[in-house]
Amino acid sequence: MNIKIENLNDSWKQFTLNNDRGMSVKILNYGGIITGIFVPDKHGNVENVVVGYKDYRDYVKDPNYFGAIVGRVAGRIQDSSFTLDGQTYTVDENEGKHHLHGGRNGLHCVIWDDEIIETDSSVSVKLSYRSLEEDRGYPGNLTVAVTYTLNNDNDLIVNYEATTDKKTVLTLTNHTYFNLNGNLKETIHNHHVTVDSSRFVELDEELIPTGKILSVDKTSFDFRNGKYLADGIESPAEQNKLALNGYDHYFLFDKQKDKDVIVKEENSGRILTIKTNQPGVVIYTGNNIKNGLELAERSSEKYLGVTFETQSSPASLHNEGFPSIILEADDTYEQQTVFTFGIEK
C-alpha cells in the first residue's frame, strides 16, 4: 500500500491512495474532491467508477460538485435563513432564494491542509480546514477534518470530525457521482440499488422539503428489495418529475440491515456497498448534468452518475421530525461513511 503526491500547481495537490488489490483513489486538497476511484470488474479490468473532469482546473467553477466535500450544510436551506436560540442567521443565496451545499464558496472550493497517515493495513490523507465566524453567514468558528482511508478490503472510509466555539449548524457529505459501468461507458439507468429505507422526504417545485415524510410503499421510491434507477428516471410519478425526471430526494434509513445501501451493475459485476452512522441519504441521479462538459473519459450527459449523500437533514431547521443538524459548542461532530467495492460472485 502506498500514497503518491502530485503537485498540480503552486497550491493544488493530488493524492493517490493505492492498496494491494488494484484499487486506487485520487483526491485533491482543493475541496477534498475525489477525482477518480479505480477498481477491477469481474474480468479484472481496472476502470474509473466516478465522474470527474479531464482538466483539474474545471473544478474551480463546477456547478455539479463532482466528488467534493460539501458544507457547512449539505443540501438546501430554505429561504437561506434559520433561527438558533431566537437569533436569525442569513446565509449565502446560491440557488434562487435558497442556500445550497454551503454557498458559492463553501468547503467544496477551499484549499485544505493535508496530512499523510500510513499504517501496516491502510493509507490515509487527513484534510483539515478552519471556517471562521460568519463564513457564508454561518455562526461560530468551525474546525473541521475529513480523513479518507483506503485499506486492502477495498473499503474507502470517510471520517468527518468538527468542533465549534459557538452553537451552529453542520452536516457534511461527499458528493461523488458513482458509475459502476466503468469509464462512463453507459449511464446509470442499469444500476440496481437497494436502500434500507421505508420513508422519504416530499419535495416542492423548488426541491425544498414540504415538511412531509412519505412512505415508500407502492412507489418508485421503494428500494427495500432493490430497484433499477431507470424505474424512477422513467417514472410518471410527480415526485420524480419534480426532480427533472429522476431522484434528488432524502431517504431516512431504517437501520434494520447490515448495509444501508447496495449498488450492483450486472455487466461489470461491480458492487458498491455503503455503511454509515448518518441517519439518511440523498440519492441524486445526475438529472441536471449538462451536455458538453469535458470529463476524464468522455463528454458529459444527464444520468452519467449517481450520488449517495449520507447526511442529516437541513429540513430540520424549518420542520419537526427531521434529523437535526445543530452542533453545540461543547460537542464534537463525528460521522463516518464506508464505501466498499467488490465483485458479485
Q: What is the DSSP string of 68-94?
A: -EE-SB-SEEGGGEEEETTEEEE----
Whether 161 contacts 145, CB under 8 Å: yes
The Cα–Cα gap between 79 and 43 comes to 50
Whether 278 contacts 310, CB under 8 Å: yes
C-alpha cell of residue 170: 453542520
- Which of 98, 99, 101, 309 is catalytic? The answer is 309
C-alpha cell of residue 133: 465566524
- CA dihedral 207→211→213→219, nearest 10 degrees, is -40
Residues 6+ apart with CB under 8 A from 288: 64, 244, 302
Residues 6+ apart with CB under 8 A from 183: 47, 48, 297, 298
The Cα–Cα gap between 180 and 267 comes to 9
Closest CA to 309 of 340, 270, 283: 283
Whether 200 contacts 216, CB under 8 Å: yes
Active site residue 309: yes
Residue in this structure with the C-alpha cell 455562526, named with its chain if needed: 139
- Which of 98, 99, 108, 175 is catalytic? The answer is 175
Using only the alpha carbons of the chain, give its radius of gyration.
19
Residue in this structure with the C-alpha cell 421503494, named with its chain if needed: 222
Active site residue 175: yes
Residues marked active site are found at: 175, 309
